[in-house]
Structure 1
Amino acid sequence: MAVYGIDLGTTHSCIARIGEVGRPTVLRNMEGTDTTPSVVYFETADNVVVGAPAKDTAVLSPDLVVSLIKRDIGHDVTRELHGRDYSPEEISAFILRKLVSDATATSGEETGDVVITVPAYFGAAERDATRKAGHIAGLNVIDIISEPVAAAITYGVLNPDQDRTILVYDLGGGTFDTTVITLRGGDIGVVCTDGDHELGGADWDSRLVEHLAERFTEEHPDAGDPLEDRHTEQQLRHDAEETKKALSLRRQHVVRVMHGGRVATIELTREKFEEITKDLLDRTIEITGRTLATAAEKGIKDYDDLVLVGGSTKMPAVPDRLSAELALKPKLQDPDLAVAKGAAMYAFEETYRQLLAKGEGDKARELASRAGLSEAEQERMAARQITTVASRAFGVIALDPVTEQEHVVHLVHANDALPHGGSREFGTVDEDQTIVKIIVVEQAGSAESIEVAHNNPIADGELKIPPGKPAGYPISVTFALDTSGLLHVTAVEKETSEELTLDVRVGGMSEDEVQESRTDLAHVRVD
């Protein structure tokens, strides 16, 4: 069975596997392209269409087409379609099913294990929800890894004998991350990361949509706002994306905007496009600056390479601005496919190592031999270590018994090395208190803050306390953040060596709900 790496992107997704010469290979979809638009068209209650056909349908049936669903994953929101509420995990599962189905048709091999990538700045809830989307799709998700790590694996495969310190600037369709990574003797180490999972190429598109609508209204003030018409808006979004791509190749482009029986012919220059989106690029530079400052605090001040990842880095303004700001020559290295290729390599290596750990060395060597890996490459693969860091701070809400004010106590801090664990002892507030509510929160902004409003609640649960206990009765809370960035929280009450433990579930769907969705949606045809 084939082992796949999947780049589940905000605007486009991609799937890859290890080929016969031991190198990652992207598998084309049934439409013959390397990437699949992350767009889902709910044609009927029993049939969905994913990819380019769904994207094209958005102009005709905007209320039945879902895009940018990755921005909602891990959040408690739903989309009602054909009388059923769909969670972001379920909609993402349709995209995953399309990718794997096409890959199986292309390769002729059934799917085994998969690794799915997420933005480095994704928190615990988003990572857990991504894993659950894979389970709903019927996949065995062996790990969730960060996109910059996957890109660094691809970079390391192409440059196996070089020790480097690299800055990965990852500007995708819907998210942005910047990460400092070291490559030492084949090992990959994440030094620090920062980002914004609501900043990406789609925001550049939105600026173009607004600009085109404004220009149309200037020419035809009596025709009404084109953005108030869903069909016109979808056509503008299609035109904006095509304009962005065109202006990456040439200096000007003409767009015809039609609405209310009127037509406006609008000429756009690359300079104008860069002017109306300058603040978006400024935000990425600001985040990159924060990342470099954090790395400097950890002793990293010199860089060998600046690696650009994500399709949006093909906009000329991106490498130009980075060259001017950082005095490094950016390397645009397979920006659309590098993440999926790295995920495929990681999935293959992880499967190989798991076989060795289970004492199935013969199967591991057979797997590597089929991929054409030499003994030296197998040894290097078995020895490779990948270390990463926490993307954000995590904590619990506590009450100060003196001021009676709520505040956040963080047990994991952003850029702590993973896996990471932290424990803290708290006390009950009232005498004879029988219930303690534990609210787990995640850093919301760019900086850690004890203010409750500056953190997002991601899970909660209740811990029972034996009756008759005084105020201040001790409770121990432990956080364990694994290398995938998935958080496990345990609250313990101890009395006469007895432990009462509560595992707080992170994410919008329980495992029972995931299994129910998997069964419920199995009958839905995905094209």
Structure 2
Amino acid sequence: MAVYGIDLGTTYSCIASIDDVGRPAVQRNLEGTDTTPSVVFFESGENVVVGQTAKDTAVLEPDNVVSLIKRDMGRDVTRPIHGIDFTPEEVSAFILLKLATDARTTTGEETRDVVITVPAYFGVAERDATRKAGRIAGLNVIDIVSEPIAAAITYGVLNPESDRTILVYDLGGGTFDTTVIALREGHIEVVCTDGDHELGGADWDARLVEHLAERFRAEHPDAGDPLDDRQTEQQLRRDAEDAKKALTSRTSHTVRVMHGGRVASVEVTREKLEELTKDLLDRTVEITGRTLATAAEKGVEDYDDLVLVGGSTKMPVVAARLQTELGLAPRLQDPDLAVAKGAALYAFEETYRRLVREGAAERAEEMANRAGLSAEQQRQIAGRKIRTVASHAFGIVVVDRETGAESVAHLVHANDELPAARTEDFFTVYDDQASADIRVMEQAGVVESADLIDNTEIATGEIRVPPGKKSGWPIGVTFELDSSGLLNVTAVEKETGERLELKVDVGGMSEEEVERSRKALSRVQVS
């Protein structure tokens, strides 16, 4: 049985599986490339194009093309196109379906069982939305796994010679994460993680776009602003990305900016790009420093390797700056493909272990034999453990009985080991209180804070209180956060035993809407 790992990226996506000698291998798309631009062109409501053609079309029909949709995952927003409101989950489903369909065409095998990766710093809403996107695409999502874990799995398989403590610096097209991971006797343990899911290569591109437009305006002040024209803006974004990539191997690159019948030839040097984006790189260094400080609090201070993941780490300034700051020689670890390969390994191992647990030994052995695994490798897979941590803090809103002020009491904290479960008693505020609101909150800021403004409400419910109770009547609240980062909350009134169960179902779409979208998408032609 074939299983797949999918790196659903902000700017590029990739799918991989395990080949017949047990190695992770990327499945090329029908255009013959390893990665597919995460861009969707809605030719009509019934015909959708994903990938490079969609990216090329953005210059001509920018209003019908969607990119960077990953930054909207978990938000209750839609993109209106051809009179239809598409959710982020639905747009992402088109990308997933393109990857799965191309893989099936290439391999001749069903592409259904998948593991999808997300940034380590994605919260509950974003992870839930990603899972739903997979289901809308008709896929069986085995699990959601963090990108640094996937990269670490690839790294551990390729470098199994000894135990290591590694710092994964993952700068992708739209997100940034930094994670400390310990590899011990084949097991993987996440020590801590931090990041920003709105910081990535697209922000470097945006700075370059502004620079190109500014240079054009200076040379042709009477020609108008090229950024006021959607088609010109899209062309500038493509040119900026191309220039950024060219400057990884060259020290200068010339861009022709055309608008309103005028042309400006703008030379961009690597030094200028680094100057324009210094504060963006500074932010990644600051987050990395915060991660190292958290790891030190947990007793981890020495590192064997600094592993660079994500296409944006190819910029020479990234490795140079990190080596200066951290004193570690960075290693580029297959930056564009490592996450998809690690997800494929994770999908394979999880499926193998599930078959063993369920007593399907013959199917597990058949799967292992097909991948060319030795008995020792099968033993290692069966025993491998992966431990991860919470990316954010979670809690509920509480009210100060004296002042009436609201704040957040966190039950699960960022970088707590997963799965995490904690029960705590909370108490009613007033005499004869008929019910208690359970408002579940997730940390929204970069650090944990009790202030409501620094948290996001992700679920809410109400539990009844028996009549005639004085203030201070207890309500037991339990938070359970699983290893995928998905949360369940239970509140119990102890006298009557009444229970309120909140399976935090966020991301903008209900289960009924997911099913309707899945059926609707099945009627859309995706290429």
1:377-424 Cα shifts (integer Å, max 9, x gaps): 000111110000001111111111111000000010000000001222
1:505 aligned partner: 504
Residues 1:298 and 2:294 are matched in the alignment: no
2:20 aligned partner: 20
1:194 aligned partner: 194
- Native 8 Å contact 1:3 1:348 kept in 2: yes
1:106-160 Cα shifts (integer Å, max 9, x gaps): 1110023110000001111111111111111111101000000000000011112
Give me the whole-angstrom Cα distance separating, in 2, the residues matched to 1:320 and 1:139.
41
1:358 aligned partner: 358
Structure 1 residue 513 displacement after superposition: 1.6
* SS, match of residue 301 in structure 2: coil
* SS, match of residue 202 in structure 1: helix
Give me the whole-angstrom Cα distance separating, in 2, the residues matched to 1:521 and 1:464.
41
- Native 8 Å contact 1:419 1:481 kept in 2: yes
Select between 476-485 and 432-441 the one with higher mean Cα deviation: 432-441
AA partner of residue 288 (structure 2) = T
1:137 aligned partner: 137
Give me the whole-angstrom Cα distance separating, in 1, the residues matched to 2:499 and 2:323.
56
- What 5-or-longer segments of structure 2 have no aligned partner? none
Structure 1 residue 161 displacement after superposition: 2.5
Structure 1 residue 432 displacement after superposition: 2.9
Give me the whole-angstrom Cα distance separating, in 2, the residues matched to 1:86 and 1:490.
32
1:259 aligned partner: 259
- Native 8 Å contact 1:8 1:116 kept in 2: yes
Structure 1 residue 511 displacement after superposition: 1.6
- Native 8 Å contact 2:112 2:138 kept in 1: no
Residues 1:486 and 2:486 are matched in the alignment: yes
2:424 aligned partner: 424
- Native 8 Å contact 1:192 1:291 kept in 2: yes
Residues 1:475 and 2:475 are matched in the alignment: yes
Structure 1 residue 469 displacement after superposition: 3.2
Give me the whole-angstrom Cα distance separating, in 1, the residues matched to 2:424 and 2:372.
50
Give me the whole-angstrom Cα distance separating, in 2, the residues matched to 1:212 and 1:304.
41
Structure 1 residue 503 displacement after superposition: 1.7
Structure 1 residue 444 displacement after superposition: 1.2
Residues 1:208 and 2:208 are matched in the alignment: yes
2:122 aligned partner: 122
1:514 aligned partner: 514
1:258-315 Cα shifts (integer Å, max 9, x gaps): 1111111101110001000000000000000000111111111111100000000000
1:179 aligned partner: 179
* SS, match of residue 3 in structure 2: strand
1:393 aligned partner: 393
1:158 aligned partner: 158
- Native 8 Å contact 1:209 1:236 kept in 2: yes
- Native 8 Å contact 2:459 2:505 kept in 1: yes
1:93 aligned partner: 93
1:63-84 Cα shifts (integer Å, max 9, x gaps): 1100000001011111111111
Give me the whole-angstrom Cα distance separating, in 2, the residues matched to 1:316 and 1:372.
38
Give me the whole-angstrom Cα distance separating, in 2, the residues matched to 1:435 and 1:56.
56
Counting matched residue pairs gives: 526
Structure 1 residue 437 displacement after superposition: 2.1
- CA RMSD between the two structures: 1.0
1:218 aligned partner: 218
Structure 1 residue 341 displacement after superposition: 0.3
AA partner of residue 384 (structure 1) = R
Give me the whole-angstrom Cα distance separating, in 1, the residues matched to 2:9 and 2:208.
21
When normalised by structure 2's length, the TM-score is 0.98
AA partner of residue 276 (structure 2) = I
* SS, match of residue 248 in structure 1: coil
1:441-477 Cα shifts (integer Å, max 9, x gaps): 1111111100111111222222233444333322111
- Native 8 Å contact 2:461 2:500 kept in 1: no
The equivalences for 1:197-346 within 5 A come to: 197-346=197-346
AA partner of residue 87 (structure 1) = T
Select between 392-401 and 19-28 the one with higher mean Cα deviation: 392-401
- Native 8 Å contact 1:39 1:55 kept in 2: yes
* SS, match of residue 502 in structure 2: strand
Structure 1 residue 504 displacement after superposition: 4.2
AA partner of residue 310 (structure 2) = G
1:470-500 Cα shifts (integer Å, max 9, x gaps): 333221111111001111111222224x332
The equivalences for 1:43-54 within 5 A come to: 43-54=43-54
AA partner of residue 94 (structure 1) = F
* SS, match of residue 169 in structure 2: strand
Structure 1 residue 522 displacement after superposition: 1.4
2:69 aligned partner: 69
* SS, match of residue 55 in structure 2: helix
The equivalences for 1:376-387 within 5 A come to: 376-387=376-387
Give me the whole-angstrom Cα distance separating, in 2, the residues matched to 1:395 and 1:69.
28
Give me the whole-angstrom Cα distance separating, in 2, the residues matched to 1:97 and 1:463.
41
1:38 aligned partner: 38
AA partner of residue 362 (structure 2) = D
Give me the whole-angstrom Cα distance separating, in 1, the residues matched to 2:242 and 2:503.
45
1:445 aligned partner: 445
Structure 1 residue 90 displacement after superposition: 0.8
- Native 8 Å contact 1:12 1:173 kept in 2: yes
* SS, match of residue 389 in structure 2: coil
AA partner of residue 382 (structure 1) = A
Give me the whole-angstrom Cα distance separating, in 1, the residues matched to 2:440 and 2:64.
35
AA partner of residue 409 (structure 2) = V
Give me the whole-angstrom Cα distance separating, in 2, the residues matched to 1:267 and 1:215.
10
Give me the whole-angstrom Cα distance separating, in 1, the residues matched to 2:215 and 2:279.
20
Give me the whole-angstrom Cα distance separating, in 2, the residues matched to 1:52 and 1:437.
49
Structure 1 residue 221 displacement after superposition: 1.0
* SS, match of residue 43 in structure 2: strand
- Native 8 Å contact 2:487 2:503 kept in 1: no
Give me the identity figure in percent.
71
Give me the whole-angstrom Cα distance separating, in 2, the residues matched to 1:288 and 1:390.
17
- Native 8 Å contact 1:161 1:185 kept in 2: no
- Native 8 Å contact 2:40 2:67 kept in 1: yes
- Native 8 Å contact 2:100 2:112 kept in 1: no
- Native 8 Å contact 1:461 1:504 kept in 2: no
Give me the whole-angstrom Cα distance separating, in 2, the residues matched to 1:522 and 1:464.
43
1:223-244 Cα shifts (integer Å, max 9, x gaps): 1111111111101000000000
Select between 6-15 and 451-460 the one with higher mean Cα deviation: 451-460
* SS, match of residue 432 in structure 2: coil
Pair 150,339 (structure 1): closer, same or farther in 2 beyond 3 Å: same
- Native 8 Å contact 2:390 2:418 kept in 1: yes
